[in-house]
């Protein structure tokens, strides 16, 4: 990977002045992924925080060609863009090599855009899909998604007398994408000191074919924590193995980060108000349940990666 | 019923210039203001790579200042700054 000093000499592709929250992680994801590209870049975004906050009419924060279509079809739209590009290239009307990226939130990727994403991956377009996963529909007011953490408070599955937040565990989308047998699938997070996300994005851009990156992105609005802790929470998610970092290259699973000491899930959870209700003694069994599930998934992943 | 338009006759939807959000100032959202101490800075770029508002100004691989027109005062730069002695190169101060 190029050093941060070298990267800082590149042109800024996402300007300030967009209307994301102070301390938003989604724009950090977008900046870091775009910096990893050494070719011109074309971006498509699904409806979601990133799209809404960066493209309020008549302003656009993108210094790259940018296209937004609808919530469910970022991957399909980008498929069309790459097909048009390839046709024009064949005719000699475009000569440049271009990287194509789609950004979708967990709502637009795990739930609403899953079929168009699956289709694009199966058809084998040369594109990178990046899911910035903040575990709920933050843009519309923190509604539950299938990526939402167990027992997290959301406005559609609130913690209260009836039940303590979400009663299901999030689904494993990275695993679903790996099952498409595409050349590159990666799971990353913002905040790692070794710049894990930039490294994975660089690797993805160097590979021809469909690529998928699932990036864990702390959200200060929906998770309710202090805005400066965005990256600290990212690191804690990796250190507690709630969000393990790994990649699947041509079907070979590999861990890219192993915490020196695996921290208890409460280190990550109790920094956030969305898990506040779990501090009550009567909810202790839910913490145990979450810890067991995180441990089980971590051991399963280690087996897959040949780490034990 | 009139004849339907083909894709070549359809009116163009809309297209706007790139990077114009720069003209929109979000600096007045701020309640905390980052203060940069140039003499303490080691130019590691950790604040720059992690700034959500692209508000750390850099030139030739060195930090040159903070763009207060767009900075929303989240404090990520100060939190991530690795400098320990004699203190962080960026600190947050209440905005007056």
Query: The CATH number of the domain where B31 resides is what?
Result: 3.30.70.20
CATH number, residue A59:
3.40.50.970
Q: In this structure, what are the phi and psi dihedrals at residue B61, rounded to the nearest 5 degrees?
A: 75, 10
Q: In this structure, what are the phi and psi dihedrals at residue A247, rounded to the nearest 5 degrees?
A: -140, 155
Answer yes or no: is pLDDT of A308 > 80.
no
Radius of gyration of chain B (CA): 21
pLDDT in tens, A167-207: 999 999 999 999 999 999 999 999 999 999 999 999 999 99
Number of domains in chain B: 1
Nearest chain B residue to A198 by CA: give it: B49
Kindly list the distances between the CA atom of residue A212 and the CA atoms of A41, A48, A61, in Å, as whole numbers in the listed order: 16, 18, 24
Report residues of chain B scoring pLDDT below 50: none
CA angle A212, A27, A167 (to 5 degrees): 65
The closest of B31, B27, B60, B58 to B45, measured between CA atoms, is: B58
Over residues A48-53, mean pLDDT: 95
The reported pTM is 0.94
Residues of B within 8 A of A63 (CB-CB) are 18-19
The closest of A25, A206, A70 to A128, measured between CA atoms, is: A206
Residues of B within 8 A of A65 (CB-CB) are 18
pLDDT in tens, A149-169: 999 999 999 999 999 999 999
Q: Which of A17, A22, A229 sits opposite B25 (nearest CB)?
A: A17
Nearest chain B residue to A57 by CA: give it: B16
Radius of gyration of chain A (CA): 19
C-beta atoms of B78 and A228 within 8 A: yes
Q: Is the dihedral of CA B4, B7, B11, B13 positive or negative?
A: positive
C-beta atoms of B79 and A228 within 8 A: yes
Answer yes or no: is pLDDT of A72 > 80.
yes
CB pairs under 8 A between A and B: 132
Q: Is A232 on the interface with B (CB under 8 A)?
A: yes
Number of helices (H) and strands (E), helices first, in chain A? 12, 8
Residues of B within 8 A of A16 (CB-CB) are 21-22, 26, 53-55, 67, 69-71
Confirm whether B72 is domain-assigned: yes
Number of domains in chain A: 1
Answer yes or no: is pLDDT of A1 > 90.
no
Q: How far is CA A139 from the centre of its chain?
A: 15
> What is the residue range of A224's domain?
4-304
pLDDT in tens, A7-24: 999 999 999 999 999 999
Question: Rounded to a whole number, what is the distance in Å from the CA of B80 to chain A's nearest CA?
Answer: 8
Q: Which of B7, B21, B55, B65 to mutate to test the interface with A (most CBs of A within 10 A)?
A: B21
Confirm whether B2 is domain-assigned: no
> What is the residue range of B75's domain?
21-93
Question: Rounded to a whole number, what is the distance in Å from the CA of A77 to chain B's nearest CA?
Answer: 16
Instruction: Identify which has the larger pLDDT, B13 or A127.
Output: A127
Give CA torsion, residues A186, A188, A193, A199, to 10 deg: 30
C-beta atoms of A60 and B69 within 8 A: no
Residues 209-228 of A with CB under 8 A from B: 220, 226-228
> ipTM for the complex?
0.92
Place of tokens 């967990």: A106
């Amino acid at each position: 990977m190029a050093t941060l000093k070298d990267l800082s000499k590149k042109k800024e592709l996402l300007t300030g002045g967009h209307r994301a929250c102070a301390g938003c992680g989604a724009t950090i994801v977008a900046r870091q992924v775009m910096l990893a590209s050494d070719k011109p870049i074309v971006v498509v975004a699904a409806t979601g925080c990133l799209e809404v906050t960066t493209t309020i009419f008549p302003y656009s924060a993108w210094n790259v060609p940018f296209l937004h279509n609808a919530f469910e079809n970022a991957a399909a739209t980008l498929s069309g863009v790459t097909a048009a590009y390839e046709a024009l290239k064949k005719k000699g009307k475009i000569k440049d090599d271009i990287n194509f990226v789609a950004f979708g939130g967990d709502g637009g990727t795990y739930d609403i855009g899953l079929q168009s994403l699956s289709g694009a991956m199966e058809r084998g377009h040369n594109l990178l899909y990046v899911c910035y996963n903040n575990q709920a529909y933050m843009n519309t007011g923190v509604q539950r998604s299938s990526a939402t953490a167990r027992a997290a408070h959301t406005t559609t599955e609130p913690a209260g007398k009836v039940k303590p937040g979400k009663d299901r565990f999030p689904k494993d989308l990275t695993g679903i994408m790996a099952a498409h047998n595409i050349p590159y699938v990666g799971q990353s997070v913002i905040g790692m000191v070794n710049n894990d996300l930039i490294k994975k994005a660089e690797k993805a851009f160097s590979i021809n074919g469909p690529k998928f990156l699932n990036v864990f992105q702390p959200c200060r609005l929906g998770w309710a924590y202090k805005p400066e802790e965005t990256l600290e929470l990212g690191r804690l998610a990796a250190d507690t193995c709630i969000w393990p970092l790994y990649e699947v290259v041509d079907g070979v699973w590999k861990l890219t980060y192993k915490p020196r000491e695996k921290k208890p899930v409460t280190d990550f959870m109790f920094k956030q108000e969305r898990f506040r209700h779990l501090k009550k003694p009567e909810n202790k069994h839910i913490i145990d349940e979450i810890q067991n599930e995180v441990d089980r998934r971590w051991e399963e992943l280690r087996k897959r990666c040949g780490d034990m | 019923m009139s004849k339907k338009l083909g894709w070549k006759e359809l009116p163009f939807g809309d297209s706007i210039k790139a990077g114009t959000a720069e003209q929109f100032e979000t600096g007045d959202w701020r309640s905390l203001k980052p203060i940069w101490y140039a003499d303490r800075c080691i130019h590691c770029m950790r604040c720059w790579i992690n700034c959500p508002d692209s508000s750390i100004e850099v030139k030739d691989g060195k930090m040159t200042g903070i763009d207060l027109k767009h900075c929303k005062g989240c404090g990520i730069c100060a939190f991530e700054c690795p400098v320990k002695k004699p203190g962080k190169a960026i600190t947050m101060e209440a905005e007056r």
